Amino acid sequence: MRPKIPSAGNVTVLERLRDAGLRPTRQRLALAKLLFARGHRHVSAEQLFNEAKAQRVDVSLATVYNALHDFTSKDLLREISIDSSSSYFDTNTGDHHHFYFEQSGRLEDIAAHQVSIAALPAPPGGAKISRVDVIVRLKG
């Protein structure tokens, strides 16, 4: 069913998982392929689960959640909470910002260099900044 020697398309994904210290299981490979195959994406757990089902990838919802969190903790993904109804996972882990289409719930990247935050007050109590998120909410 699945090759011992990974087929071409899997190689990069497999290495990516190994480099991150994650075992390249069938489930993780399939999910990583869906996530990283082409371009950057913003997906919810439910969305990814449905994509997997559509492609006959047999994986449980618990595993989708586990994988998303594992990938996030290894910096292969970034978790975004904008809409209280569910989290999004962003395959773009670099420095960037977002347009948020309020009516559809869709996210679109804004390259970091397109936004310039000229001034920011010093964090209280000498705290360290872990990241600055700019969310441009769009109506209609």
Q: Confirm or reject binding of residue 87 to DNA (CB under 7 A).
A: yes
| Residue 127 structure tokens | 């705290």
Q: Confirm or reject binding of residue 46 to its own copies (CB under 8 A).
A: no
**Residues whose CB falls within 8 Å of the CB of residue 69, separated by 6 or more in sequence, listed in order:** none
Minimum CB separation from Zn ion for residue 90, in Å?
A: 4
Binding segment toward its own copies, per CB under 8 A, in 13-21, 29-37, 59-67, 79-87: 79-87
Site for its own copies in 93-112 (CB under 8 A): 99, 101-102, 108, 110
Q: Which does 26 bind (CB under 5 to 8 A by kind): DNA, its own copies, Zn ion, none?
A: DNA
Q: Which does 60 bind (CB under 5 to 8 A by kind): Zn ion, its own copies, DNA, none?
A: DNA
Alpha helices in 37-106, H assignment, sequence order: 45-54, 61-73
Nearer to its own copies, 54 or 118 (CB): 118
Q: Confirm or reject binding of residue 65 to its own copies (CB under 8 A).
A: no
Angle at 78 between CA 75 and CA 84, to 5 degrees: 150
Distance CA 10, CA 32 (A): 9
Cβ atoms of 107 and 100 closer than 8 Å: yes
Cβ atoms of 60 and 48 closer than 8 Å: no
Contact residues for DNA, defined by CB under 7 A:
18, 22-28, 44-46, 58-63, 65-67, 69-70, 84-87
